[in-house]
Structure 1
Amino acid sequence: MSESRPVAAAADSGVCELRFTLNNKPCCVTAAPEASLLEVLRMEIGLMGTKGACLEGECGSCTVLVDGVPVNSCLIMAGQIQGRSVTTIEGLASADDGTLDILQRKFIETGAVQCGYCTPGLILAAHQLLTRPGVATEEDFLTALEGNICRCTGYENILKAVRGAWRETHPDDAGGAQ
């Protein structure tokens, strides 16, 4: 995230009013300016899909998309989301009928989850890769998941899920996602 935008402070209350887009819907919430985006999502809004583990930006379990870019929500201050677009794991499924996003489906199909704590962050980290055109190499898949730690599994099924989602969304890339 490159810049913070002004935050409307509630008069002498120690909280600020945040207006942003959350999962493709307008959102307005009050929060302490020193609160992290992770805290706002979980404690103020009640979205529990985004997990907090290390709270230092090391594990990736708190990954969300801000303006389409994966970020560690534990490191983003509430005021930095003013006017931005935030997507959580809850926002990937279809708002119309609840149909899961392709990455969510592939993680289930490949058994890429065990305890599930890291899963939302891994899916959101990989999501940006699927939005780009062209071909993908094995290095691209590994790079997309950098910064996300899974302590329960090896990464084989996680990579299999991401490759499968890539193949489905990029059928012309016969060579990249083997």
Structure 2
Amino acid sequence: MSKKDTHQKDAEVNQAAGNGRRDFLRQSTLITALSLSPGVLLKAAEANIDDKFAAYFEKIPLSIEVNGLKHNLSVEPRVTLLDLVREQLALTGTKKGCDHGQCGACTVHVDGQRVLSCLTLAVAQQDKKITTIEGVSNGKNLHPLQEAFIKHDGFQCGYCTPGQVMSGIACIKEGHANTDDDIREYMSGNICRCGAYHNIVKAIAEVNKEGLQP
């Protein structure tokens, strides 16, 4: 191939590359322009929202009992039980940890069964009885498991403790606290980032052994 042919080939390659870059820039500019378009487009879209879709987010009545007190509330269908007790009822003992059902910090009891309140819709609890960590003690008298946690140093930072206690009470009631291995297995959904697991097991085992049923 002659030098002339080589230069011509190089020119064609460069031109093709230039066209590719120009096409990319044109497409990028178009995307940017669309993303920065005036809110008129958004307003037009909002005006066409289906009435049924909008109605989904309207508040609906909810009657539940929390720690022995009945509440007639108005909630959005998407609100979780965790957000309901914390934000509407100001029961902040129940903690929001991972908010994905992986740490157990939000554990509460629904009709005596432990549930992860961050994964539980409030509207699904119609006429049910909810117990949070604030509801397990009797006035200033702590629940036996709370006392055992203090006795055995079952907490450090304390953030996971409400969920640990709620889950531990349920673990005893379910009959899953007869051995240390059972306790570890049925408490495995409650994470303690401080690593107080050994003392948590001791606290639950002691309460179960003494027959101090919740």
TM-score by length of 2: 0.69
Q: Which residue of 2 aligns with 1:104?
A: 146
Q: Measure the CA separation in 1 of the matches of 2:118 and 2:74.
A: 17
- Equivalent residue letter for 1:111: D
Q: How far 1:53 moved relative to its partner? A: 1.0
4+ runs deviating over 2 angstroms: 129-135, 137-140
Consecutive unaligned residues in structure 1, runs of 5 or more: 1-10, 172-178
Q: Which residue of 2 aligns with 1:36?
A: 80
Deviation readout 1:94-113 (Å, 9 max, x if unpaired): 1xx32111111111111111
Instruction: Give the number of the structure whose alpha-carbon radius of gyration is greater.
Output: 2
From 105, 123, 131, the counterpart of 1:61? 105
From 119, 122, 126, the counterpart of 2:164? 122
From 120, 128, 131, the counterpart of 1:76? 120
Q: Would you say the 8 A contact 2:177–2:183 is kept in 1?
A: no
Structure 1 stretch displaced more, 44-53 or 148-157: 148-157
Q: How many residues align?
A: 159
Q: Measure the CA separation in 2 of the matches of 1:167 and 1:51.
A: 28
Change in CA separation of 1:17 and 1:134 when aligned onto 2, cut-off 3 Å: closer
TM-score by length of 1: 0.82
Change in CA separation of 1:41 and 1:136 when aligned onto 2, cut-off 3 Å: same
Q: How far 1:25 moved relative to its partner? A: 2.3
Q: Measure the CA separation in 2 of the matches of 1:135 and 1:78.
A: 30
Identity of aligned residues (%): 37
1:26 partner SS: strand
Change in CA separation of 1:71 and 1:134 when aligned onto 2, cut-off 3 Å: closer
